Every structure is written in structure tokens, then in C-alpha cells.
Amino acid sequence: MSDDPLPPPPSTPAPGRATARTAAVIPAAGRGVRLGPGAPKALRALGGTPMLIHAIRAMAASRAVSLVVVVAPPDGAAEVRTLLDSHALPERTDFLVVPGGGSRQESVRLGLEALPPGYDIVLVHDAARPLVPVDTVDAVIEAVRDGAVAVVPALPLADTVKQVEPAGAPGEPERVVATPDRSLLRAVQTPQGFDRATLVRAHETVTDDVTDDASMVEQLGPTVVTVPGHEEAFKVTRPLDLVLAEAVLARRRLNDGF
């Protein structure tokens, strides 16, 4: 028998990651034009409380999260700081507010730059997903602690998806070019969880336009894995999503009452 040491199993956590401190970065600098006219999306009220406060509470609800970095609209950091000061938030969590940028990607990068040392696991969570349950947040953190460098909550698709040749103008018919096998597709949500050094490297290296952070890590090379997402982690994008969010909140209030 060889005396060579066996390679570690793939799930072996990087040294220190099993006990690493976790911070959450919340990009909240978008205007949310698809939601219709009004305040920036993150500041719209749900059940009387701004969407951003729901999202912050959802991150702080995890006992593993000890810092939340909120990325405010570029000219709205003072307003967001005042908002945080006027709502009850857990005392065991620290909060930072920084101004964001012109794209989601830039806003996340500015949030990462504001992270103090000592947080080796980073969650990135859209302010536009205010109702993600704490179990989903904890499942993402757990998977990073167990050794994954990038983790996304994911759900199977209900709809069949078509790839099209985009039309010249909105509303014009588009030519369908392919129907990907739905069983191989997932809709991904946030919070997405990362080994901090990997995410920082991805943001330093990848300059393409992307719609989530995990895809930057994919471009870099390391493996991204999924954990089960949750239907209540949906993104509030269009007016109908506000109706759904209010209904979820009403159901929670009713359940909490018993």
C-alpha cells in the first residue's frame, strides 16, 4: 500500500471557512423602471415597510450574518442611512451604507470594496428579493462553509423556455431558434454565497455585462453549485409581483398570529 496521503474529498472546507464570518452585500441602487413610476424600487413600501428593510431583515435573520453592507443609489446614501436608523434591526448585526454605481455589477463591486477584513464568506442579495426565508439564506451559507466557492439557490422552471432571434422593435414577432431541455434549466435567486477571495477575483477579472455574480465566477473557472431555492425568494420586478409580495406578507402575519 502506498504511503502517499489521500487527496482531500471535494467537500473538505478550505481552512477556516467552516467557522468564517459572513457578510451580506445588498445591491439596492437600481431604479426599478419596470415597476412603474415612483421612488427607487428598494424604497417602495411592502406592508408599510420599505422593500430594502425587508431584504436587510431577511439577511440579518441568519445568525451567521454579522455584517450587512447596503449599496444605496449613488446620490441616496444619506437617505438610506436615515431609513436604517428609523427601523428596528437586530443589534447583533453591523450595518454599512455605501453609494452604488450605474450597473448592478458596479454596485456589488463597490459593496465588496467597503467590506472590512475578517469576513471570508460573502452573500450577495438583491434588495428586490425582500421575502427570502432564513432557511434559504442558511442553506447557502452552509454550502459555502462545507467547501463550495460559489453557491446559488435555484428552482426548476415551470415554463418552457424558447431561445429567439430578438426582434427589431418591441412587440414584433421573434423567430424561435431553439427550445432548451427544460429539465436541465434552473431559475436562480439570491442570496448567492461566495468564498470572498473568489468573488473579489471574479469582479476584478470579468468585465462582460452579467446579470448575476455566480456567472462571473463561472467565467473565471471555479465550480458553481446550487442549493434548493424558495418560491418566496422571487424578485419583485413588475407591478403584479407587488401584489404577490403583499399576499405573502399577509399570510405570514396571519400565521404569526397563531
Question: Which residues contact ligand C5P (rule: CB under 6 A)?
Answer: 27-30, 41-42, 71, 100-104, 107, 126-128, 237
Give least dist CB 211 to ligand C5P, A.
6
Give least dist CB 241 to ligand C5P, A.
10
The residue (of 20 and 69) whose beta carbon lies closer to ligand C5P is 69
Q: How far apart, in Å, are the Cα atoms of 248 and each of 52, 56, 156?
A: 16, 17, 21
C-alpha cell recorded at residue 226:
446550487
Residue 171: left if φ>0, alpha if ψ -120 to 50, beta else—which one?
left
The residue (of 51 and 217) whose beta carbon lies closer to ligand C5P is 51
Measured between its terminal Cα atoms, the distance across the chain in Å is: 63
Give least dist CB 118 to ligand C5P, A.
24
The residue (of 34 and 182) whose beta carbon lies closer to ligand C5P is 34
Give least dist CB 10 to ligand C5P, A.
31
The residue (of 20 and 115) whose beta carbon lies closer to ligand C5P is 115
Give least dist CB 203 to ligand C5P, A.
14
The residue (of 14 and 244) whose beta carbon lies closer to ligand C5P is 244
Rounded to whole angstroms, the Cα distance separating 109 from 100 reads: 9
Count CA within 13 A, CB hemisphere, residue 51.
30
DSSP secondary structure, 11-29, as one string: TPPPTTGGG-EEEEEEE--
Residue with the three cell numbers 473538505: 12
